[in-house]
Amino acid sequence: MSVVKFVTALVAVLATGGCAMSATTSAGSCALPRPVLSAQHASPGQKLTVSIDFSLTCQDTNHAEAAITQTWKSVRIRLVEGNTDMVLATLDTDRAGHLSTQVTIPVKASAGLALIRIDYADDVPLTIN
């Protein structure tokens, strides 16, 4: 099953299963998976480990959904600084939906606040030294 078809099916299941976005708030009941970084600060040229677990449908505490185990293909990890979006890696998850890899902060990265953005996940702040 392609990632697009899977995400479409997952959205349909979540919308009918109580994990849909609320019409009265801007926050959804079902949170996106949150990546974990080996550090919150990094310098240009430095390596950083990025890990994420896509295996859970709902990662909120008020849902007991079953895990979805599948490989996600061509997941992009990017560094976002203002309007600049740099792809750091593109890779597949393992069969259980886990991904962990080392990326290198580009030498041309500017000092200040940036985001690590992973397809189908929450952004994570990163301070570039």
pLDDT in tens, 57-107: 555 555 555 666 778 999 999 999 999 999 999 999 999 899 999 999 999
Mean pLDDT, the chain, integer: 80
Q: Taking the model in full, what pTM does it have?
A: 0.71
Of 43-47, 67-71, 120-124, least confident by mean pLDDT is 67-71
Phi, psi of 9 (to 5 degrees): -65, -40
Mean pLDDT, residues 102-122 taken together: 97
What is the DSSP code (8-state) at residue 66?
P
CATH numeric code, 31-128: 2.60.40.1930
Rg (CA), the chain: 16
Q: Of 39, 32, 35, which Cα lies nearest the Cα of 126?
A: 39
Domains of the chain, residue spans:
31-128
What is the DSSP code (8-state) at residue 26?
S
Contact 121, 52 (CB under 8 A): yes
Sorted by sequence, the CB contacts under 8 Å of residue 101 that are 6+ apart come out as 49, 50, 51, 77, 89, 91
Residue 26 has pLDDT above 50, yes or no: no
